[in-house]
Amino acid sequence: MNPPRMLVFDLDGTLVDTAPDLISALNYVLDREGMAPVPLDSARNMIGAGARKLLERGLEVDGRVMSVGDIDRLTRDFIDYYADHIADASRPFDGLESALDDLAGQGFRFAVCTNKLEWLSKRLLDQLGLSARFAAICGADTFGVAKPDPAILRETVARAGGQIAATIMVGDAGPDVGVARRAGVPVIGVEFGYTDVPIAELKPDRLIGHMRDLPAAVDSLVRANGAF
């Protein structure tokens, strides 16, 4: 029996528009420390490398230098606040669920591979009613490595019951393209996510501007890849 064909998704900026709640949590911490808030539009591209890096980038905007201990403390405070407000304004990107329905009907299995903490990822997807769609939801703490280390993608695929040779990665930023390249899998880039380098410049195998285009991009890659 052939292994299931796998689609592995990044979370923030790929499946879900989480920027409003992430930046709200960041601004909560900054305000409490007497710093100015960061505007949502300009802060979207600060997202994608985990909570601590987002906080560090927020501090850099203010020019504040803090000790490692202080950043540890603020990161814990950020996560505590964010966990309580994780789906206040976060929503799946338009067209996601229809695309997943279409692809599931074609026999694809889905997993999440994110640099977000696993328990936060599961809480978010639970609150949005999406968790049941994914055979595995894995974060930067699940295996002790983060994207673009290919081990996190390989282990995510294995946990979902798939094989790396029958996998496509979908993401919005450098770590997603990087993990796919290092693991030897094709990658679809989404143009609506969070990245400081335009996703087109990272040269994913396919590029989409809306989730409605995902099934056609997947079909194109499958046709081009005889291993599927």
Residue pair 195/45 in contact (Cβ under 8 Å)? The answer is yes
Alpha-carbon 162 to chain mean position = 19
Give 141's DSSP letter. T
Residue pair 28/34 in contact (Cβ under 8 Å)? The answer is no
84 a catalytic residue: no
3-state SS assignment for residue 190: strand
| Cα dist from 159 to 55, 90, 169, whole Å | 30, 27, 15
In 3D, which of 5, 11, 2 has the Cα closest to residue 137?
11
Ranges of H-type helices in the chain: 19-32, 40-43, 51-62, 68-84, 96-105, 118-127, 150-159, 174-183, 214-224
Residue pair 55/75 in contact (Cβ under 8 Å)? The answer is yes
Active-site residue, from 10, 12, 149, 172? 10
Residue pair 109/5 in contact (Cβ under 8 Å)? The answer is yes
Return the active site residues. 10
